[in-house]
A and B are shown apart, each in its own frame.
Chain A
Amino acid sequence: MSTSEQHTPDAPGDHVWVDVQNSPDFVELRRRLRSFVFPMAGLFLAWYVAYVLLADYAHGFMSTKVVGNINVGLILGLLQFVSTFVITTLYVRHANKNLDPLAEKLRNELEGGQA
C-alpha cells in the first residue's frame, strides 16, 4: 500500500533515501545523535530507578536529617529536578552545536533546487 498521501510532492524517490542513509554525512549525523541520546537516556533512567529503589527500600537512610528538617530523601529528590534541568540544557547545547548544522546541510542538499 502506498503511503504517498502523507508525503510532500517534491520528495525524492525511494532509491535516493538509501543512498542518503549510507552517505558519510548522514552516518555522522546519526552517530552524533545516538552517541548522545542513548547513553544520556540510560544514565538518567538508571539514576531515577536508583532513587526510586532508595525511596522504596531504604527508608532509614532517606529519612536521615542533614540540615534542620531537610533530610537525605528531600535532597536526592531535588537533585532529580536539578539533573533533569542539567540534561535538558546539555542536550540543547549539543543539538544546536553538533546536530542542527549537519541536519540543515543534508536537508538543503536533498531539497536543493526545489525549496
Chain B
Amino acid sequence: MNGSALLNIGIFGVFVAATLVVVIRASRNTKTAADYLAAGRAFTGPQNGIAIAGDYLSAASFLGIAGAIALNGYDGFLYSIGFLVAWLIALLLVAELLRNTGKYTMGDVLSFRMRQRPVRAAAATSTMAVSFFYLLAQMAGAGGLVALLLGITGKLGQAIVIAVVGALMIAYVLIGGMKGTTWVQIIKAVLLIIGAGVMTLWVLGKYGMNLSSLLGAAVDNAPKAGEKLLGPGLAYGKDGTTKLDFLSLALALVLGTAGLPHILMRFYTVPTAKEARRSVVWAIWLIGLFYLFTLVLGYGAAALVGADKISKAPGGPNSAAPLLAEALGGPLLLGLIAAVAFATILAVVAGLTITASASFAHDIYANIIKKGEAEDKDAEVKVARRTAIVIGIVSILGGIAANGQNIAFLVALAFAVAASANLPTILYSLFWKRFNTSGALWSIYGGLAVTITLIVLSPAVSGTPKSMFKDVDFSLFPLSNPGIVSIPVAFLLGYIGTVLSKEDDKEKYAEMEVRALTGVGAEKASVH
C-alpha cells in the first residue's frame, strides 16, 4: 500500500465518520414502523429528490458510464440517455399514484385490490430478485474499485474490504433506518455531483470551454477507434445480433427505472403526492445534469488518460473516472473522487438493503405470516432489522463470490427483471379496471421466469470468452439482454392471466382509483 492509498483511506474515513454522526442523530426520532421504513414520511420533495439521485447514480452509472464513453465513445452515452428518459415514466405514470395508495413497499400498491397474500408474496419475490442482482453488482464493483484505489490486488484483501463495506452498510441501516439511509444518500449525492461538476469544468477549461475541441482531442488520442469514437456503433454496431441486443437493452433501461423497488420505496418518504412529484422533478434535473457531466468526463478520460491506459488499469473501464481525476488534480483529487465512489457503493447498498428488508418485514412477515393482524408494529421493525442483517451477510458473501464479474451485466439484469416483472404489473394495477389477482401473479412470476430463463440461456452466461461460464455453451438465446422479448411477454401474460379469471372487484378498483388520484386517506407524515 502506498501513500496515495493511505490518503484515499483517510478521506473515506472522514466520510464514514461524518455520515455515521448524521445517521445516529437522525435515528433519535425513529420510533414507529413508519419512522424506520419510510423516514416518518417527513422529507421534503427536494431532499427526497436529491436522495433519489443518490440512489440512482450508483457506482455502475458513475464509473461504468464514464468508462464506457471513454472506451466506446458515443455508445456509452446511449446508456445515460436511456437512464434519464426513463424517469418520465416514473413522473407521469407512477410516482404520485403510488404514493397515494401505498405505505412502505411496492407490494402495498400491487395487492391493493387483489387477494393480499399471493400478490404480496409475488411482489416480495420480485423485489428481492431485483434488489439482489443490484446488490451483487454494487458489491462486485467494490472489489475492482479497491484494487484500483488502494492497490489491493489479492482476492483475500479485496474480500476483506468488501466485508468491511458490507458491515458499515449494515450499521447504517440498523441504526438509521430509512431516515439515516436517506441522509447518507443526500450527502453522497451532493458530493458526487459537485465532484463531477468540478472535474467537468476542469476538463472543459483545458480545451477553452469548447466541447468540439475536447472531442477532437479524444479522437486524436484514440488511434484504434479514431473518428468512430464520436458516432454510434463502436460497441453495438458489429452485426444484426448486436444491434438487436442494443435495442433490447435500450428498452430495458427506459422501462426498468419505474419498476426498481428501491426507487419506488423512496416515494413513501415524503408527506404528499405533490411532494413525490417534486422529488421526481429534482431527481430528473440532477440526474440529467450529472449525465451531461459524465459525457465530458468520459471523453475527457479518452483525451487525457487514453484508452490503452484505462483498459490496462486494474478495474478496466471502471477506472476511467478515477484515472482522469488523478491526471487532473494528482493524488488529492484521486483520493476525493475515490472516497466519493466508495461512498456511492456504500449508500446504494444501504438503500437496497432497507428496501429488501422492508419488503420482507412488511409484505411477508406482517401481511402474510401475521395476516395483517400484527398490531405490534415494533415487531415489524424488529423483523426488518434482522432481515437487514441477513441480507447484509448474503450480499457480502455474494459480492465476494461475484468479485470480478461484469458489473454492467448485473445491473442490466436488475433493470430487465424490473421492466418485465414489475412495471407491467404496476401499470395494469394503476390503470386497468379489469386487472385482478390472477393477472398480477401471471405478470410477476411469468415476467420473472421468462427474464431469468432468457438470461441463463444468453451468451452473457455461457459460450463466449466474455461469459460467466466460458467452457460450456448452452446459449440458446442470442441476446445478452432479454428485454425485447421478456417485456412484451410479461405484458401479454398479465393480460391473459386477467381474462382467464372471473375475479373483477369494481368497488375495490373504485376505491383505489379515487385514492390514487385525490390522495384521500393517504398515509400522513408522522409528527414528532
Residues of A with Cβ closer than 8 Å to B? Answer: 1-3, 5-8, 10-11, 14-15, 17-18, 20-21, 26, 29-30, 33, 37, 40-41, 44-45, 48-49, 51-53, 55-57, 59, 62-63, 67-71, 73-74, 77, 80-81, 84-85, 87-88, 91-92, 95, 100, 103, 106-107, 110-111
Contact = CB atoms under 8 A, between A and B. Distances in A.
B231 A59 contact: yes
Contacts of B521: 7-8, 10-11, 111
B519 interface: yes
Nearest to A63: B231
Contacts, number: 172
B519 A40 contact: no
Interface string B183-214: 00000000000000000000000000011110
Contact of A73 (B112, B210, B232): B232
A84 B510 contact: no
Contacts of A8: 521, 523
Contact of B243 (A14, A57, A111): A57
Contacts of B510: 17-18, 20-21
B77 A59 contact: no
A1 B507 contact: no
B432 interface: no
B525 to A, nearest CB: 13
B292 interface: yes
Nearest to A99: B517
A59 B231 CA distance: 7
Interface stretch (B8-16, B87-95, B331-339, B462-470): B87-95
A100 to B, nearest CB: 7
Given A63-B231, A73-B231, 19 more contacts: A3-B116, A3-B372, A6-B108, A7-B521, A10-B521, A11-B520, A17-B511, A20-B514, A37-B92, A49-B250, A55-B74, A56-B243, A70-B211, A74-B230, A77-B81, A80-B85, A85-B284, A106-B517, A107-B520
A25 B93 CA distance: 21
Contacts of B112: 3, 6
B157 interface: no
10 contacts: A30-B517, A40-B88, A41-B89, A41-B92, A63-B228, A69-B216, A74-B77, A81-B292, A85-B285, A87-B88
A74 B214 CA distance: 13
B74 to A, nearest CB: 6
B382 interface: no
B247 interface: yes
Contacts of B227: 63
Nearest to B212: A68
Nearest to A85: B288
Given A11-B520, A85-B285, A62 B231 contact: yes
A6 B85 CA distance: 33
Given A41-B92, A44-B85, A88-B91, A29 B517 contact: yes
B288 A110 contact: no
B35 interface: no
A109 to B, nearest CB: 9
B435 to A, nearest CB: 16
A83 B250 CA distance: 17
Contacts of B291: 81
Contact of A91 (B92, B103, B367): B92
B84 interface: yes
Contact of A17 (B213, B372, B514): B514
A63 B520 CA distance: 52
B506 A18 contact: yes
B507 A55 contact: no
B277 interface: yes
A26 B511 CA distance: 12
A26 B514 contact: yes
A98 to B, nearest CB: 12
B254 A45 contact: yes
A58 B89 CA distance: 27
Contacts of A88: 87-88, 91, 280-281, 284-285
